[in-house]
Amino acid sequence: MTKVTTDDLKIISKYILDISGIELDESKAYLVETRLGHMVKEYQCSSYGELCRKAKIDSSKTIENRIIDAISTNETLFFRDTGPFEVLQHKILPDLIDKRTEESSGLFPTTIRIWSAACSTGQEVYSIAMVLKELLPDLKKYNIKLLGTDISDSAIGQASYGAYNKFEIERGLSKQKLQKYFNPNGGNWKISDEIRAMVTFGKRNLLKPFVGLGKIDIIFCRNVAIYFNLEGKIKLFENIASVLEPDGFLIIGSTESLTGICSIFEPKRYLRTIYYQLK
């Protein structure tokens, strides 16, 4: 494995920060080596710095995308930390549906837009879809838009395909939900067509301006900002505030905090989980 030098680490960290917002300090040299070492060899580079240079001039962006895929962490599971899904099912969705139904005066189907802002391989956004299906058996009456985005092409690819192996399935999913919402697929499990059809997937860098998104009612942005530096965190939550409906809801990771990052959100508690709304 090619060793990363101090100078190389500076070059590659700066490059990764620019393309993804992910901050790698000097303690993360091992991460660069284990996750990008094979690419240095594959692209016949003499160093990580040269890999960066090749990535920058590659107009197809193949190398850049592969670096993002390799360096981003896709740790996720179905119904991770149950709390946010309880809040969604028992507080946020009932409140919003009442409000939006009243606003539309019954003339149009009630529209709710939900965004899983870093959906990784899809477990979070499909968990949201399952909550919706449980709460609203007659989904056709509503106009629910469910969007999942991620910076990693390969994560989005897997999410969109919707197949999970036994280890991914074992994590967080009850037997009852597995039977109800998945079909066996050659040793794996594939999300049912009905749930899959509820979600639209796309690639998005959360540090770039949020163009073409429109306004969103509920945003899940969990355990993404933890990989960003303070400047990135501020930019991310400002971007989120710009697309969140004034009475919309934001859910962040259970160990994350907006204190000192973004003062336009107000934390609120429901049972043992915190969610945020614009002040």
Partner 1 sequence: MKQLKILAVDDDPFTLKMLNKKLDKEGYDIETASDGVEAGKLISQKFYDIIITDLVMPGGVDGIDVLEAAKTKNKQTEVILLTAHASVENAVDAMRKGAADYLQKPVNFYELTLRMEKIRNYKKLLKNAQDLREAMDVTEQNAAQTIQHLEMSVAELQSVVSKIRQVIMSQSVDPAKCVDRVFDIVSSC
Q: Which is nearer to partner 1, 109 or 172 (CB)?
A: 172
Residues within the interface to partner 1 (CB under 8 A): 81, 171, 186-187, 254-259, 266-267, 269, 272-274
Using the minimum distance from each CB to partner 1, give the nearer residue, 140 or 269. 269
CA 52/CA 12 separation, integer angstroms: 6
Contact by Cβ (8 Å): 248, 278:
yes
Given the complex with partner 1, which of 9 and 258 has the nearer CB atom? 258
Give least dist CB 174 to partner 1, A.
16
Identify which of residues 30 and 211 has a Cβ nearer to partner 1 in the complex.
30
End-to-end CA distance of the chain: 51
**How would you label 125-135 residue by residue, b for 16+ Cβ within 10 Å and e otherwise?**
bbbbbbbbbee
Which CB sits closer to partner 1, 15 or 79? 79
Give me the least distance between CB of 72 and partner 1, in Å please: 18
Minimum distance from residue 75 beta carbon to partner 1 (Å): 9
Residue identified by tokens 């509503």 is 142
- The distance of closest approach from Cβ of residue 267 to partner 1 in the complex, given in angstroms and rounded to an integer, is 5
DSSP character at residue 225: G
- Tokens read off for 224: 């993404």
Least distance CB 173 / partner 1 (angstroms): 15
Q: Considering only CA atoms, give the Rg of the chain.
A: 20
Q: Is residue 55 helix, strand or coil?
A: helix
